[in-house]
Structure 1
């Protein structure tokens, strides 16, 4: 019997080429950043793509050129409470929208979703003036406090969609056993909602770790700078130390990459399951 030859699939070929092009668009800048971090200042623009001699000392020099560990501590001071506040407050709000029935619930949820369409630049100045009048300027509080009030509409929406997919029979069984609302939330809903909670945690980590605009607006003292803001110190009045800047960028980028690859299973699961739930 003559074996049939596989048919040429133009659609799959185009999809593969598109994926390869997208991968190249993402990887080439990262490779350039890594390559530049190992070059001498003269090789940054005068040499080839790869350094002639790999200068690993650029990384230690970059750490010593700025108060790296002080900036790291400042970043963690903001990051830890923001992650706790965002996940906790978003989970509580999502539980209310997913399980409670109250007057105006649908309207309130639509208003919440509408805030996702509002650019942050619209509320930037009023928010800054509000925190300034409260005496919180040049402090970490304006960067931390908003996280304890829902942490953003998208986070609430994501967790709410997942919780709606959890069978209500679990709640009813818990009520029969004498459990209260708070016990159901902490002992049933939160453990079952681990995928979206981890996804929100990753989003929050990435946002705070890479945030430049927030610290730039609210922090005036150099000793309170975060890592993202500290990168600007490599930019001088007349020149930029590109090799040192790229070395510091690689060091700052590594934790975010590690967190994503370690937790990507839960990240993808939380996004896909929440997106599949209707209502």
Structure 2
């Protein structure tokens, strides 16, 4: 599974709270955690400049939170000034991060997540998977609940599947994660195919083959055909089952096509309270 993660926080998203749970994240197989906070340039004068005071305050805040971290995990603090996306990419490269964790906000429309979105820009500029967490969800967890969530960060993954290239790409990515993990941190996944009609035998065979492919990586795999609207059915399934994250991929997030016809991925990112594991499309 992912062993080196980069957690990006602006302190309003609640993700800085994870700094108190380094031990629990370590129990989930994570060996290196980098907490990154990007301080905007101060614009009080004519020329923007580094806000040294805010950098020092942020550094102290995160350092205090991780001071009791166990020796089993390497915890780093990075507080830098600059443009968020460029800084995230630079820090991720420096630490060879395998997963970037971001907070999301509630958006009124699909276009809102595209206009000036850090997530959408990152998805176009990196091949590193992104884990999108809803800040309100993190805030609602008690210490006991968040401990368990961190220990089982990606134990059970839901893969929306329809036999297309994007869904086969997801299966491949999840399989690779399962094959390289040292323990059983990723244990289960569900393949769900939502259609507007009764599934054909060909579709059943395709889904069964995907199941066999994932089982070869020592995963527990269940499959499900559902009739209805893909978005509503996937959100319902994530709510009713013990899903850790919904895996998605898209090559149009933040691009012009998304402004014309909102994609399943964009709607899911806007509406899902369940964490979303986003795999950028291959370049």
The interval holding the TM-score normalised by the smaller chain is under 0.3
Larger radius of gyration: 1
> What is the TM-score normalised by the length of structure 2?
0.22
Q: Whose helix fraction is larger, Structure 1's or Structure 2's?
A: 1
Q: Whose strand fraction is larger, Structure 1's or Structure 2's?
A: 2
> What is the TM-score normalised by the length of structure 1?
0.23
RCO greater where, 1 or 2, for CA within 8 Å and sep 6 or more?
A: 1
